[in-house]
Amino acid sequence: MWLQVIAAAYVAFAHGANDRSNAIGPMAAVYQVLDDGGLGEIAPVPTWLVLLGSIGIAVGVVTWGWRVMETIGSKITDITPTRGFAATFGAATTVLIFSMPFLAVPVSTTHTLVGAVVGVGLAGGAKAVDFRVFGKIIASWLASLPAAGFGSIVIYVAVGSDPIKLLIVIPIAFAAIIYSIWATRDGEVFVDDALADAGGDSDKGTPTYFELFHTHAEAVEDTVNHMLEAVNIAADGNDPSEAIEATIAAELKADNVKNDLRRRVGAGTWNLLMRSDDFYHMLARQDRIADYAQNVAEQLSFRPLYDNAEAKALLKEMAQSVAKTAATYEDTVAALRDLTLSGYTKAGREKLGALIDDVNMAEHESDMVESRAAGFVFRIGEDDPLAAVHMYRVLQRLDDVSNACETAANAFLPIVYN
């Protein structure tokens, strides 16, 4: 982070060395005409004019510069201190080289820095850059030259060298600028929106492995939710057959997504940035959640549940706790997807690590419910031991679902800490 601060100061120096000259160059020519009555081969640049250019840039940064900072710093790609240092150092060096006497080429610091930011974003993969924002920036660059030319013509014709008209036109022009800025204050697209839109839709291009991994996690969670419905129906004394069939169908859908993902990894469509064996292992752990959920549903079809109201209430509580664990796990996989799309940033790793902890805590809560439910069933189940054992078996399978979520989430820890 300290290197980024130093690089920012380096950018400020390069910015002043180049862009201030860009700003006061035309003003120096105007000053020479006013002072000498004509243009010479070389226009003198008084110190006060240099200071005026510096003040102008500083005022622009302080007043509306935050818009530029926000766009470049957060809307093109996810910037970490390491990425920020690389972008600012590269941009400042480029601008300073072009400012040297042997070149003396006026270049835009903003253009150069945008290119540098896009470059560090692309280092994390094309999906890490929001090209919609980048496209808007390029469009504004292309439009700025003709717009500036047209604006100059309008102001020149409107003023007609009349100071009175100048005093009228300039405030109107500033008012139009302020209104335009205010009216478009929310017009940009954030890179977070692009990440949130990422999915398996064919209209958006080929999904990455981790996007499909998240799609599989959603299918797994859907299987768990159907299982939860089957448990609740059975505990209420009704026929859970339809919910059981829905659970089996959801597990089959998850298997199809898993198999498709395996084929894509084998074909090597994307750069996985990890060993394929490790990815297959993560996928297998995730798939086990759906397998256990299906097994819970199938257990319900064997015989009616132990007919005790409190035992059934504890079973429903256990199923709800397991579903919460699965939902937290799905959130964790979504964070993993976003982390891979953003180029493995520090903030993304911290978020993923926190969600892994949440999954572990949710699994612990499920263990507590399972312990209470199992203890109750064995204490009062002597009147119908076979039904009590069946109830305990269902509780065990529910606990397997929760444990599988914890095991699958912990498989992401090397990504967080390595």
Whether the per-residue pLDDT at 158 is higher than 90: the answer is no
Q: Backbone phi, then psi, for 194, in 5-degree steps?
A: -65, -40
Residue the block writes with tokens 């007043």: 63
**Among 264, 258, 274, CA closest to 207:** 264
Considering only the C-alpha atoms of the chain, give the largest distance between any 2 of them, rounded to a whole number of Å. Answer: 113
Query: Which pLDDT tens digit goes with each residue over 19-76?
Result: 888 788 888 888 888 888 777 778 888 888 888 888 888 888 887 787 788 778 777 8
Which DSSP symbol is given to 197?
T
C-alpha span between 408 and 275 (Å, rounded)? 17
Provide the pLDDT confidence category of residue 203 given band limits of 50, 70 and 90: very low
355 neighbors 328 (Cβ within 8 angstroms): yes
CA angle 316–317–318, rounded 5-degree value: 90
Q: Containing H/E element for 383? A: none
Produce one character per residue of 48-68: b if its CB has 16 or more CB atoms within 10 Å, e if not: ebeeebeeebeeeeeeeeeee
Q: Report the pLDDT value the prediction gives residue 186, as an integer from 0 to 100.
A: 58
Residue the block writes with tokens 């090209």: 131
Average of per-residue pLDDT across 83-88: 89
Residue the block writes with tokens 């093109």: 76
Average of per-residue pLDDT across 280-296: 93
Domain spanning 202-417: CATH 3.40.50.720: no
How many of the other CB atoms lie within 10 Å of CB of 6?
13
Mean pLDDT for the chain? Answer: 84
Average of per-residue pLDDT across 276-287: 90
Which DSSP symbol is given to 104?
-
Whether the per-residue pLDDT at 283 is higher than 60: the answer is yes
Whether this prediction's pTM lies above 0.85 is answered by: no
Q: Is 7 helix (H, G, I), strand (E, B) or coil?
A: helix
Residue the block writes with tokens 């752990």: 285
Provide the token pair at 337.
Answer: 């997807």
C-alpha span between 254 and 233 (Å, rounded)? 23
**Among 48, 46, 57, 47, CA closest to 23:** 57
Give the total residue count for the chain: 418
C-alpha span between 195 and 197 (Å, rounded)? 5
C-alpha span between 298 and 295 (Å, rounded)? 5
Provide the token pair at 403.
Answer: 């444990």
Specify the domain boundaries for CATH 1.20.58.220 within the chain. 202-417
Q: Report the pLDDT value the prediction gives residue 176, as an integer from 0 to 100.
A: 84
Average of per-residue pLDDT across 78-86: 82
Of 371 and 74, the one with more pLDDT: 371
Which DSSP symbol is given to 100?
S
User: What percent of the chain has pLDDT above 70?
Assistant: 92
Q: Where are the alpha helices (DSSP H) in 268-308?
A: 276-300
Rg of the Cα atoms in the chain: 32
Which DSSP symbol is given to 342?
T
C-alpha span between 287 and 278 (Å, rounded)? 14
Of 159 and 320, the one with more pLDDT: 320
Query: Which pLDDT tens digit goes with each residue over 99-132?
Result: 887 777 878 888 898 899 889 888 877 767 777 7
Average of per-residue pLDDT across 84-89: 90
Contacts of 381-385 with CB under 8 Å at 24 or more apart are 381/306, 381/308, 381/311, 384/306, 384/307
C-alpha span between 208 and 198 (Å, rounded)? 9
